[in-house]
A and B are shown apart, each in its own frame.
Chain A
Amino acid sequence: MTVTELASYEDALDAYDPVMGLEVHVELGTRTKMFCGCATGLGADANSQTCPTCLGMPGSLPVVNATGVESAIRIGLALNCDIAEWCRFARKNYFYPDMPKNFQTSQYDEPIAFEGYLDVQLEDGEVFRVGIERAHMEEDTGKSTHIGGATGRIHGASHSLLDYNRAGIPLIEIVTKPIEGAGARAPEVAKAYVAELRELIRALGVSDARMEMGQLRCDVNLSLRPHGRAAFGTRSETKNVNSLRSVERAARFEIQRHAAVLDSGGTILQETRHFHEEDGSTTSGRIKEEAEDYRYFPEPDLVPVAPSREWVEELRAELPELPRLRRNRLREEWGISQHEMQSALNAGAVGLIVATIDAGAPADQARKWWLGELARRANEEGLELADLPITAEQVARLSELVAEGSLNDKLARQTIEGILAGEGTPDEVVEKRGLKVVSDEGALGTAVDEAIAGNAAIADKIRGGKTAAAGALVGAVMKATRGQADAGRVRELILERLAPSE
């Protein structure tokens, strides 16, 4: 394998101005497929969610999924797009075994939504407006699995298996206008755009938009042009970049690669490129020597989609608060920094924190638990925060128990451990594991007296005014009570006995 020459990022940006185009495919979370009644759930046996229509059987016909159209319109509206009064589906003709009809039912020159924008906020709070060219409806393909070759690639495979469960699942393709003027922040803008779009899709409730499940996939088109030149350079298309970090890395890599090619007097090939998660590089895919001719024509098996203006306005009125605005509102309500908000967002915790606050917890406590102990647990288990077997209500109760002094932080963490292990509600876990803070003053007093007696030297230091030394005695009491004492109260008792003057 040849090593790709890269310019330094700084040199690349000194010489060139990057222009990006991002194409994002979102798999809608509709119950049935785009053009037939088959189920869309993941994880079913291969080809068990198919019918004559999504298998492209002779004679079968498509029928448009109304929820799919509605979702497309809602996405379009949330992206500030115009919604077509009348538009058609088109056939995109090309042969590939995972596409049952050998054409993809898509939209061509009449997308359902067009001419919009999405404002994205970078980590330092700067807002960057990304123009939206169009959002259109189409169907997903099946999935090929190549057997016998190396690393699952078709090269060298003895045969391939086809699973059409995914064929016909509704997709919305969202295409940006050329993103210009981002300069060195282009990779960051790309990442922020995809992140913002993902939040938007989730807020609309049209898809879970989980990139690792392929529910949201991004193609990064990138070109460089010398500063001051209006015409775009030749672009590369890096396909299926499937995490936020990868989007940023792919853009960065391509900027450096393009710059190296251009610096050495070479020309950029218009080609698709594969992104490699391991090292953040891209490698050449299929070279587009001549633009593929998809022979688009209006799909004669479907009638045009003509959403009434009344319906569009109804959908507009029902749009949820947009994620960026909601985040800014919450940030102010919670009194946290842009950066802290970003962390919460990246952890997928914003909705959970809101739910926990709604369940009665103070904002700082809700944030603390979800971004602290629970985030750590999720990370250990390789789970999304939302997939941990604990509810916002349970976290709120936990925080209540801590606030009333029934639990300290250490006991609360043990309670969480019990909840995640399926031992029941916070109260049940506390009960079963016997985790309540020891608040019997008599028992606590005895433990304190024993600690003082057993650590005479330290006790003298405290008597001598070094109250900071009390920590060691608190530790001894906590140890003796197996952590079940309220550390604050223990400290008070120690100081009452040894430094009454204070």
Chain B
Amino acid sequence: MSDLTDVTSLTSMSAARIAAGIAAGEMTAVEVTEAHLARIAAVDEKVHAFLHVDREGALAQARAVDEKRARGEELGPLAGVPLALKDIFTTEGIPTTVGSKILENWIPPYDATVTKRLKDADVVILGKTNMDEFAMGSSTENSAFGPTGNPWDLTRIPGGSGGGSSASLAAFEAPLALGTDTGGSIRQPAAMTATVGVKPTYGGVSRYGMVAFSSSLDQGGPCARTVLDAALLHAVIAGHDPLDSTSIDQPVPDVVAAARQGDVTGLRVGVVKEFRGEGYQAGVMQRFDESVELLRELGAEVVEVSCPSFTKALAAYYLIAPSECSSNLARFDAMRYGLRVGDDGSRGAEEVTALTREAGFGDEVKRRVMLGTYALSSGYYDAYYGSAQKVRTLITRDFGKAFESVDVLISPTTPTTAFPIGERADDPMAMYLADLCTIPSNLAGNAAMSLPCGLAPEDGLPVGLQIIAPAMADDRLYRVGAAIEAALQARWGHPLLEEAPSL
């Protein structure tokens, strides 16, 4: 085995490098896949990023790529690159649990559009990653199948709901992962693990086959270790899908070109005034302020921008998301698929449904279903769901006004670094605050990215910088992200993840 194809070397490579290597014949897709499967076998017992590893399927996909190359066929930009898929995307023939007991052992009969596009692009799907049940949570502790450890400190959370995906990247189990972001579930885990995560414009990536939590907020997106890798993955999964009515029928912005360009000269950057103060960790703000300074040095015009309604975003979110989830999760009734409890011949359907939901849903899911059921009730609808929709409109207007004077907005991704597993488990409000800075973009449907901007001095844990762009201007995220990434790595002399402890 050459140096290039030794396991450590293969698992630390970027997706772009792997794809180029396979295309050039420096390595085979099977070698790359085997290296990652070996890494998973070596470390995932500790990390628990994966709920299901599809060893045979991954190797078969890899072999198909190698055969394609042998036949002289042209390979796509991510052909043969392994990927960890959040367990919220349906995969035909492969279990899809959404981190819930109620779907334990459910094998979908169909592929999500995202899954299909990954397969069509010859991306090798290694398996399905852990997540908070139904994507409800910010720590992955709400998974019915146990928490995931943060590779930076296994006693801490990797963020959530997509903690499995972010941890798989930080643990070098996969160079690419896929997440979904309803209130920050891609960006906050990226911030916790020093990886890159992007929530595309709502409607940019098809939701068909993505198990719904909150339909008007859910958005699938790329997770990677570099901005360019995220862009390459973004380009593969994005674009109009006739199976999703809310999918945008417009060309996808050229995110790959933007990631390769990485220039912020003359770009107008707004710092969101509301996202600092009480509850924000000092080290987080320090790294954030340094990033602001860095942008100035890189030639951007930085101004402070006020978005006053953002302070109400969390409250609006916790009415809209639970309301939609109370309806979306009604289908889990033990009739057609998934768990069935109490069907002993003595009980009627209604009772079996109740027993199944009691046993199959975790506390956080039940909490939100109840919240949402209440908020939609006749007599309360206007006060709760209706008011929340008005706040949503105000937030969208704040963004609109801000984007009249700036090209992108920036903020910390989340107020603190990764907290210890268990610390906020019994305090839902403390947990909800982790998404304070990410939620406004879900409510407005615009695009946002988190990328690493250093380690907090007080705990040595990663800090995320959030970049927000107007809807359908996702390319700006990559342009700014790539510039910051390059400047920071030049300063550090290496990618931040190299500072993570070995597992």
Contacts and interface: CB of A to CB of B under 8 A. Distances in A.
Contacts, number: 104
A61 B215 CA distance: 10
B110 A57 contact: yes
A160 B350 CA distance: 12
A68 to B, nearest CB: 13
Given A57-B337, A61-B245, A103-B330, A295 B378 contact: yes
B150 interface: no
B245 A303 contact: yes
A93 B245 contact: no
Contact of B335 (A97, A295, A296): A97
Contacts of B103: 58
B330 A101 contact: yes
B327 A91 contact: yes
Contact of B207 (A56, A61, A103, A296): A61
A95 B327 contact: no
A301 interface: yes
A303 B207 CA distance: 14
Contact of B331 (A58, A62, A291, A301): A58
Interface in B96-140: 96, 98, 103, 106, 108-110, 112
Nearest to B320: A300
Interface of A is mostly: loop
B349 A100 contact: no
B330 A95 contact: yes
A261 interface: no
Nearest to A51: B110
Contacts of A100: 331, 336
Interface string A30-73: 00000000000000000000001001111111111000000000
A57 B109 contact: yes
A295 B216 contact: no
By DSSP majority rule, is chain B's interface helix, strand, loop, or mixed? Answer: loop
Given A63-B245, A93-B376, A95-B350, A297 B327 contact: yes
Contacts of B106: 58
B209 to A, nearest CB: 4
Nearest to A63: B245
Contact of A301 (B89, B215, B337, B345): B215
Contacts of A293: 377-378
A162 B335 CA distance: 9
A158 interface: yes
Contacts of B152: none
Interface in B266-322: none
B177 interface: no
Most chain A CB inside 10 Å of its own CB: which residue of B110, B112, B324, B331: B331
A301 B214 CA distance: 10
A102 interface: yes
B212 interface: yes
Interface string B357-396: 0000000000000000100111001000100000000000
16 contacts: A52-B209, A57-B108, A58-B103, A58-B331, A58-B337, A59-B96, A61-B244, A63-B245, A95-B330, A95-B333, A95-B350, A293-B378, A295-B376, A296-B376, A297-B376, A301-B245
Interface of A: 52, 55-64, 91, 93, 95, 97, 100-103, 158, 160, 162, 291, 293, 295-297, 300-303
Given A97-B335, A101-B331, A295-B376, 11 more contacts: A52-B209, A58-B332, A59-B108, A60-B110, A93-B327, A93-B376, A291-B378, A297-B323, A300-B216, A302-B246, A303-B246
